[in-house]
Amino acid sequence: MRSYDDSYRHKGLRKQLMDTLRDKGISDEKILGVMNDIPRHYFLDSAFDKVAYEDKAFPITEGQTISQPYTVAYQTQLLQVRQFDKILEIGTGSGYQAMVLAGMGAQVFTIERQKKLFDEHRTFILRAKYPSIKYFYGDGFEGLPSYAPFDKVLITAAAPFIPPKLIQQMKIGAKMVIPVGEGNVQRMLRLTVLPDGSVSEEMFDNFSFVPMVSGRNG
């Protein structure tokens, strides 16, 4: 069960969470403004109401997780989102990250491989507020060739390697933010497609995501 009451208490806790993210080094005020406007507790079972604004990942359907707010802010900041960017997200999960990207003014194409999670989005209360998000049930390793090329690609599951088909779906100058690594820890990478078609790579901090798995489930 979920509860859709956004009380003063929730709003106050959300504001405190934004201060925590600032303290941890998130400096893009636009991102913090967008996150401050999205009731994160709507994405969680009401059993998590008291902790929804702690800077932690929490379980959602099918053993998956809603990413930690710091991770969402960090990935969004690395992606350098601009208004009207066409963004491909792999791993819709709760849909929270997709709505942060939409709140930044991007057009979002998000793929989820778990049918149950995908189906939950049909009736989710915040869906109508973000008409610029398109939801797909599929395998993120394949991307969305018929909607390519993209300005940005965001992977929100632990990738065992950089998916070659996703690189092919990026524009020149496009960026991909992707946590790469098997096991418990992944290194956050930012890739940029250069004018000659080659790809440059920057390395950032370590994170811990649920695995990116090939094929659909359900």
The closest alpha carbon to 6, from 40, 54, 47, 56, belongs to: 40
Please report whether residue 96 would count as binding ligand SAH according to CB under 6 A. yes
Catalytic residue among 3, 7, 46, 67: 67
The interface mask with ligand SAH, positions 71-90, x = CB under 6 A, is -------------------x
Tell me the closest approach of the beta carbon of residue 107 to ligand SAH, in angstroms.
Answer: 17
Q: What is the largest CA-CA distance in the chain?
A: 52
- By CB under 6 A, tell whether 66 contacts ligand SAH: yes
Alpha carbons 214 and 31: distance in angstroms, whole number: 30
Residue 179's DSSP bridge partners are 188
Cα separation, 98 vs 120, in Å, equals 14
Please name the residues in contact with 89: beta carbons below 8 A apart, sequence gap of 6 or more: 97, 98, 101, 108, 109, 110, 111, 153, 154, 155, 156
Closest distance between ligand SAH and the C-beta of residue 68, in Å? 10
The answer to whether residue 67 is catalytic is: yes
Task: By CB under 6 A, tell whether 113 contacts ligand SAH.
Answer: yes
Which residues are marked as active site? 67
Contact residues: ligand SAH, CB under 6 A: 64-67, 90-91, 93-94, 96-97, 111-114, 117, 139-141, 156-157, 210, 212-214
